[in-house]
Structure 1
Amino acid sequence: MTDRKLGKGALALISALAVAVPVTMVPGTASAYVFSNVRIEGNQRIEPQTILSFLDLPRGRDVSGGELNAALQRLQNSGLFEKVELTPSGGTLIVSVAEYPTINTIAFEGNKRLKDENLNEIIKSKSRRVYSPAQAEADAAAISQVYAAQGRLAARVDPKIIRRDGNRVDLVFEVREGDVTEIERIGFVGNRAFSDQRLRNVLQTKQAGILRTFIKRDTFAPERLPVDEQLLTDFYRSRGYADFKVQAVAPEVARDRDAFYITFQIQEGPRYTFGNVTTVSEVPGVDAAEFAAQNRVRTGEVYNPTSIDTTIRRMEALAIRKGLNFVTIEPRITRNLRTQKLDLTFALTRGQRIFVERIDIEGNTATLDEVIRRQFGTVEGDPFNQREIRNSAERLRALGYFADVKAESRPGSAADQVIVDVNVEEQPTGSLSFGMSYGVSSGVGFNLSLSEKNFLGRGQELDVSVAAGADNQSSGITFIEPYFLGRNLRARAQLWYNTTDRYNADYNTRSVGFLTGLEFPVSENGRLELRYKLSKDTLFDVDPVAVDPDTGELDGSSPILYEEQGGFFTSALGYTYSYDSRIAGLDPLTRYRLKLTQDFAGVGGDVESITTGLYAGAESNAWRESVTFLGEFEAGAVHMLNNDNSRFLDRYTGNGKIRGFEPNGIGPRDLNAPNEDALGGNYFWALRTEVQFPLGLPEEYGIGGGLFADAGSVWGLDNTNGYQGEVDDGMHVRASVGASVFWTTPIGPLRFNFSKAVVKEDYDLEQNFDLTISTKF
């Protein structure tokens, strides 16, 4: 064990001795030597001829001392010998060598984060091979580099040897892993429009916080810095800062290598708005007025490159529809620093006549070629449009099938031909998730889901889910074909089976059904889905009104519910029109959605009705985007046909519509029935408003706050013949206010709601606190 204690010093001493040993001189010899013989001593595995080839000294003529030293260096640098001596003795040159030992075994000590088998794959030193100090040092450096990639810059690896008999050694790598070198602070210099906290939220890199034990994004990764620079640039330019630049990024490591400090030096520049916006044509016979109608940039709007790009795409699409090939749209911007306005001209110019010879696709091992090709608006023989190729690559990235997508063009077989090379890198697209959820009313629940976004490499989606809570269970399977019949038609098929077991009520429910739909675009931001649904909904185990023989008190549910027991088939045709401003994404500060749905039941089945739903939502950021405003309005109506009465499972219960109330806690109720179960209503409306804001805590803690106010109502029954009198099914407004705490944790996003009902009926059921968890692991 003595050699092992020498450590790196022993290795250094070995090398120093080998290099510094001089040629042994025979007393009285001159400065030049003549050798007729060479005697080699000490070699065991190395052939004499190999040693002579490195020696490379002539026999029978004068050899200077410099030549002898050069020969010594050649032998030493061969990496075969631990020690070399050259000793002239008369007419004989004695070459004494000590070969490096053979590695007996390789061991690792002190490693916990990386297993021995992982480290063995990193090093190049191997058992039963010749030991090389230089290679051992290189292996130690390689292991340290792997630890550094995991954020452990303080890791140290020392190679040591234990000598064994037979000129063998055991090679041991002693590892001190050290702690994770975290990003202690991310700072910015030059920012005035946005706070450090807001800009840190933009970055992919995150600084360490209270959850540093679980969050892995707080380790330094140099490859993320270019991504962060681009994210900052996109963030600023989409908000009007056309001259924004990241001037420098300075990552610094602490002296003890246990922390990183990253500073972004930025230049914001002025915030521009659009000035004069015009369209001109430099192509003979092309009217600029037609193309100006496609303009989506308005004077006075805050500068946003996305709106310019959208207008160019629309103009280019019009040119293609009109058969104007090789017409390009050139945006020309004139800055006015004094007024901080950008004058914009869209110029129609004649481009070079180039055609697409072919599109070559490589790298797709699972995804079919046709799935990739359908994202290209260009096919072989079409005029070449570089913008369309870039947009196609972006659409491919957005699919989520590929880790990387590159689309580049190169010259084709002729001067007017190009070849488009599409190179993709596949990534996993399926996931098996185990999750849990929690709600104050619903309790703890568990779910299992299997999801595949690129089923069989055809771009199809498949989702299978099973969830179980304290009083409810649900399961379903969904299959989506995004390009039905090879067109931009999104086909959907869905099966479900849901049950509730006395879920805040004195009855049970069961629903099993099937839905199929076809969705297609009707405008830039709008889509329309046509669908058919067939389901069987059952209400059962309703408590009848009866007298308790022990207490003499009445017990049971409303006669209305009791009469509605049983299973009923619903066969319905329906449609949904949806509008989402996020599709075009012209305004990064404001987003809004609109959805209108109608289902017409009566295409067979037991139910004949028209169900209409409306949803409108908006979200906006203000105060340097640190505050978010949200507003949602929802409404629905069930209208029965042929004078039928609606049933409980057809009506609205208001569950989740207004915070501050329990599920089944509002709406029409038979007040004279012993159980006073909620009956649901044919109509509902709900208005939800919310503001979310930081609480002044470090953003790495992931804790924010919010205030909300809700209002709404559930009302209307076809049958009001309750127990011993009429039921209350009037349109009574309910309202609540509350505060929320949001906490992003490793187990999922937590939301704590503290609410107070300020307008309610005496029989409503309040819920003043709610905690929700949703996670996958």
Structure 2
Amino acid sequence: MRGSAVGAARRETKRAPLRMATTALYLAMAAPLAVVPTLTQAQAFSFTDVRIEGAERVSPGTILSYAEIPRGTAVDAAQLNDAYQRIVQSGLFQTVELVPQGNTLVIRVEEWPTVNRIAFEGNNRLDDEELAALVQTTPRRVYDPGQAEEDARRIVELYEQRGRLAATVSPKIIERADNRVDLVFEIAEGGVVEIERISFVGNRDFSDRRLRRVLATKQAGLLRQVIQRDTFVGDRIAFDQQLLQDFYASRGYVDFQVLDVSSEFSRERNAFFLTFNIREGQSFDFGNVSVSSDIPGVDASAYRRAVASDPGDTYSPTRVDTDVARLERLAIQRGETFVRADPVITRNAREGTLDVNYVLRRGERIFVERIDIEGNQTTLDRVIRRQFRTVEGDPFNPRQIRQAAERIRALGYFETAEVETRQGTAPDQVIVDVDVQEAPTGSLSFGASYSADSGPGLNVSFAERNFLGRGQTLRFEVTTGADSASSAITFIEPYFLGRDLAARLDVFYRIAEQDNTQYNTQVAGFSPALAFPVGENSRLQLRYRLSEERLYGVDGFDPAAPAEQDYSSAILEEEEGSQIVSSIGYTYSYDTRRSGLNPNGGILLEFGQDFAGVGGDAQYVRTEASATVQREVWNGDVLLRGVVEGGALNMISDDSQVTDRFFLSTNQLRGFAPKGIGPRDTAVPNEDALGGNYFAVARLEAEFPIGLPEEYGISGGVFLDAGSVWGLDNVDGGESTTDGIDIVDDDFALRSSVGFSIFWDTPIGPLRLNWAEALQQEDYDETQVFNLTIATQF
């Protein structure tokens, strides 16, 4: 209920302490008045009858059971007071009085009313359903003022989490007939307390701007009405401190400390100023890295090659953990059980290095008795259990248990995931307890998009990341554009046959009216694939693809048609029609960007080939490769990135088709329109883009701050692109031309462009604006000065 509750008297519920004091005073005064021969008899009472007054819902027998006063037996004032306390603590009565009247004890009570309904007033930012989920008081139960106060406290905490620190909640009751009340929570929401400024004290090597990017908490900026992370939440500060600790530790600052975090209200008390007082310390590199053994018969030299860290590398706890895991895994492979690799670190402050000696020691003989999993209502036990590299009966390794806990949290299926160990049924047994709280994993989204390649479009998608609780992914997507439409269904089983083997099935359908061309394409098919790791940072995917690819809408030359009518290239006329493509392929990828071994950069290498001709009409070998290198410089304020891509289509029989050949998008070569470069039939009015059998592209770019407050999420960049598309099997149109001369230039011709970008990281998606100027181009190329890419979800 929002608005005022009118027409009823409100009653405060704080009379019980006054009644308690009154009754105690009455008993203290009544005791000396008893006419008995001795002092002991003067302080005692004996009742032959007990009379209950005021009870309506609660039976007399229930009240007497709380009082526990035996009839005909002497009781003193202390026993009467205990009886009073027991009745009060039952929580059934507003007031209680015990009045001795001769041989009769009168117990007068006033019952608490029952709750008729629960309502909320003054809540505009949070709806009734969200608040009702916090309230423990329930209708048709006895009203408990203590519980009502606790409910109010929970509501206040929720408002504080939303940044409204000035919110107040007052529980009030409205009397109704038949000893019933309505419980109303009167809410004054107050304003949002934003974080106006985040600053740091003690940072020498990293700027405030760089450190603010590390934190989960953000400053209030241009999008303060949309971004929720700029509101002050006290619990988030501890998380921010851990993020800072991890940031510095991964860069060799082993002595880093957050000394304290101070928060101050602004003068208007509507904003916070956060200050992190830190001590950076010195950055260390790896010095001497060695392996020694305390285990008889174990040769340490055989383990040295498993260590990935080298002298001169920036010291990082992640690197040390990786080395320890590699050493212990090698010990298991060599048949050595209970081997622990303990890193012993020696500091060389003058040289700024840390010598690391991995000492192989025999650990305690402790086994995993069992793994208990609780809290998973939907997710199957096996989905959680397969994140452990340890099973029941294996030697207990604390490091592996911690890593399993991180993998469980990384699944994204759970709001919380706690993994702890406890003593088993024997001294050499350990039980691993896993307690999880599930989170929503499905999504249904409706969106709009725009790109220079496909224009405006609409998108509808459904995704479930934990399908039927099996850890499987099911995704369905339909996208429509101005000149195109596509739909796709994807199913992924990440642990096929119970192994780290990802099975994937894609079913797709795409139709497009091509830009810069006088033809349309249609592709429909499916592709199953298997992917598995072949190294710590590398994976291999094997796939099969069966599709029907159709070229249609080709307008041939008609001598009787008007002169201004467009018509298609003779080459396309020969390629018009459908073909079945049946191919097998693979892609090898090597990715260090997410390993954490180099927090300032990483590389991504990919190489793949598809072999068409396993049935079907087309026979070719299609090869593609790419390399991406990125690195942060100037203490992380500038990001440098370099990308090289290339591909080759080698036909085994017949000529290549336009649906097989390569085209470049505006994201691959900025400054040029989609399909704006490469072989083109300039003899036809539309100058059809034909694509090429080969392509190569190189892109260099830098991203850096441009002086705007970082809370706006706006940065700048510059780039230099170069590339080309070339090579055709048929350049003269065959029988479609009268003299057989070449009508297309398919030679390699380098194109290049230079430009600048604006990056805007918005809550509705990343936005990138590119302005480019072509430096090298051919006369028939299609250029494009401005390019924008944005994705919006609503």
**Above 0.5 in TM-score?**
yes
How do residues 695-734 of structure 1 correspond to structure 2 at under 5 angstroms?
Answer: 695-721=706-732, 726-734=743-751
Q: Does 1:397 align with 2:409?
A: yes
Amino acid at match of 2:660: D
- AA at the equivalent of 1:718: D
CA contact 1:32–1:62 (8 Å) conserved in 2: no
Structure 2 Cα separation of the partners of residues 87 and 363 of structure 1: 52
Map Cα deviations across residues 182-214 of structure 1 (whole Å, 9 max, x no partner): 333333222222122222221222232221222
- Contact conserved, 2:416 with 2:437, CA < 8 A, in 1? yes
Aligned counterpart, 1:737? 754
Amino acid at match of 2:633: A
Query: Against the structure 1 CA distance between its residues 91 and 704, is the aligned structure 2 distance closer, same or farther, given a 3 Å change threshold?
Result: same
Count the aligned residue pairs.
Answer: 771
Structure 1 residues 681-690 or 152-161, which shifts more? 152-161
Does the aligned pair in 1 maintain the 2:46–2:75 contact within 8 Å? no
In structure 2, relative to structure 1, the CA distance for the partners of 1:57 and 1:259 (3 Å cut) is farther
Call closer, same or farther: CA 1:133–1:362 in 2, change over 3 Å: closer
Instruction: Select which of 526, 532, 556 maps to 2:544.
Output: 532
CA gap of 1:505–1:48, structure 2 versus 1, over 3 A, is same
Distance 1:366 1:157, change over 3 A: closer
What does 1:88-127 correspond to in 2, within 5 Å?
A: 106-116=118-128, 118-120=130-132, 122-123=134-135
- Aligned partner (choices 681, 684, 690) of residue 673 of structure 1: 684
Give, in whole Å, the separation in 1 of the partners of 2:305 and 2:25: 94
Uncovered stretches (5+) of structure 2, i.e. residues with no partner? 36-44
1:351 and 2:363 correspond: yes
- Inter-partner Cα distance in structure 2 for 1:141 and 1:255: 27
Per the alignment, residue 459 of structure 1 pairs with 471
Give the letter aligned to residue 692 of structure 1: E
> For 1:314-353, what aligned pairs fall within 5 Å after superposition?
314-353=326-365
CA distance change for structure 1 residues 100 and 33 in 2, over 3 Å: closer, same or farther?
A: farther
For 1:318 and 1:177, how far apart are their aligned partners in 2? 59
For 2:484, the equivalent position in structure 1 comes to 472
SS of aligned partner of 1:666:
coil
Shift of 1:47: 7.2
The aligned amino acid for 2:272 is: F
SS in 2 for 1:659: coil
Alpha-carbon distance in 2 for matches of 1:383, 1:61: 68
| Alpha-carbon distance between aligned partners in 2 of 1:363 and 1:135, rounded to the nearest angstrom | 27
Instruction: Give the C-alpha shift of residue 758 in structure 1.
Output: 1.8
Q: Which amino acid aligns with 1:487?
A: R
Gaps of 5+ in 1: none
Select 2:423's aligned residue among 411, 429, 437: 411
Alignment of 1:101-180 (within 5 A): 106-116=118-128, 118-120=130-132, 122-123=134-135, 136-162=148-174, 170-180=182-192
Q: Does residue 1:600 correspond to 2:611, yes or no?
A: yes
- Which residue in 2 is equivalent to 1:652? 662
Shift of residue 527 of structure 1?
2.1
Q: For residue 193 of structure 2, what is the aligned residue in structure 1? A: 181
Which residue of structure 2 lines up, in the alignment, with residue 384 of structure 1?
A: 396
Deviation at 1:135, TM superposition (A): 5.4
Deviation of residue 291 (structure 1)?
A: 0.8
Tell me the amino acid that sits aligned with residue 786 of structure 2. F
Pair 1:54–1:283, CA change in 2 (3 A): closer
Cα separation, partners in 2 of 1:121 and 1:40, compared to 1, 3 Å: farther
In structure 2, distance between residues paired with 1:739 and 1:143: 49
Could you list the per-position Cα deviations for residues 399-443 of structure 1 after superposition, in whole angstroms to 9, with x for gaps in the alignment? 333333333333334333333333443333332232221023422
| Counterpart AA for 1:316 | E
Q: Which amino acid aligns with 1:483?
A: Y
Distance 2:72 2:723 in 1: 107
Of the structure 1 ranges 84-93 and 669-678, higher mean CA displacement relative to structure 2 is found in 84-93
Q: CA deviation at 1:667?
A: 0.9
Q: Secondary structure at the match of 1:180?
A: coil
Shift of 1:339: 2.3
Q: Is the counterpart of residue 610 in structure 1 residue 610 in structure 2?
A: no
SS of the residue aligned with 1:199?
helix
Code of the residue aligned with 2:334 in structure 1: it is: K
Residue in 1 aligned with 2:639? 628
How far apart in 1 are the matches of 2:380 and 2:118?
46
Instruction: Output the CA distance in 2 between the equivalents of 1:121 and 1:228.
Output: 29
SS of residue matched to 1:147:
helix
How far residue 508 of structure 1 moved from its aligned partner, in angstroms, is 0.6
Deviations 1:43-95 (A, max 9, x none): 3637788599879899999999x999999999988877767899999999999
- AA aligned to 1:651 is R
Q: State the AA in 2 paired with 1:654.
A: L
Code of the aligned partner of 1:619: Q
1:439 aligns with 2:445: no
Among residues 288, 301, 314, which one is paired with 2:313 in the alignment?
Answer: 301
Residue number in structure 1 paired with 2:590: 579
Paired AA for residue 450 in structure 1: F
Contact 1:472 1:503 in 2 (8 A): no
Q: Per-residue displacement from partner, 1:630-659 (whole Å, max 9, x unpaired)?
A: 1101111112224x3222112112223201
Query: Which 10-residue stretch deviates more, 688-697 or 94-103?
Result: 94-103
Q: Which amino acid aligns with 2:673?
A: E
Cα distance, 1:313 vs structure 2: 1.5
Separation of aligned partners in 1, 2:629 and 2:284: 25
Secondary structure in 1 matching 2:673: coil
CA distances 1:341-393 after superposition (whole Å, capped 9, x unpaired): 11111111222223333333333333333333333322333322222222233
Structure 1 Cα separation of the partners of residues 264 and 68 of structure 2: 49
Query: Using the alignment, how far apart are the partners of 2:109 and 2:311 within structure 1?
Result: 86
Instruction: Provide the rounded CA distance (Å) in 2 between the counterparts of 1:666 and 1:3.
Output: 74
Q: 1:73 to 1:582 in 2, by over 3 A?
A: closer
Give distance in 2, aligned partners of 1:611 and 1:569: 16
Aligned position for 1:228? 240
User: What secondary structure is seen at the aligned counterpart in 2 of 1:749?
Assistant: strand
Q: Choose 653-662 or 218-227, whichever is displaced more.
A: 218-227
RMSD of aligned alpha carbons: 3.8
Once the two structures are TM-superposed, the CA of residue 490 in structure 1 deviates from its matched residue by 2.7
Q: Which amino acid aligns with 2:164?
A: R
Which of these residues, 491, 497, 512, is aligned with residue 485 of structure 1? 497
- State the partner residue of 2:220: 208
Deviations 1:559-605 (CA, angstroms, capped at 9, x unpaired): 11111111112222222221112354311112111111122222222
Tell me if 1:694 matches 2:695: no
Cα gap change, 1:92/1:150 in structure 2, threshold over 3 Å: closer, same or farther? same
- Asked if 2 retains the 8 angstrom alpha-carbon contact of 1:672 and 1:725, the reply is no
Contact map agreement 1:33 1:63 (CA 8 A) in 2: no
Q: How far apart, in 2, do the equivalents of 1:351 and 1:203 lie?
A: 38
Give me the whole-angstrom Cα distance separating, in 2, the residues matched to 1:448 and 1:533. Answer: 25
* 752, 767, 776: which one aligns with 2:769: 752
Once the two structures are TM-superposed, the CA of residue 446 in structure 1 deviates from its matched residue by 1.5
Given the alignment, which residue of 526, 529, 550 partners 1:517? 529
After superposition, the Cα gap between the structure-2 partners of 1:321 and 1:103, relative to the gap in structure 1 and judged at 3 Å, is closer
Other-structure match for 2:693: 682
Q: Distance in 1 between matches of 2:71 and 2:265?
A: 56
CA gap 1:299/1:17 in 2 versus in 1, 3 angstroms: closer
The alignment partner of 2:328 has SS state of helix
Give the distance between the partners of 2:60 and 2:504, measured in 1 at CA: 78
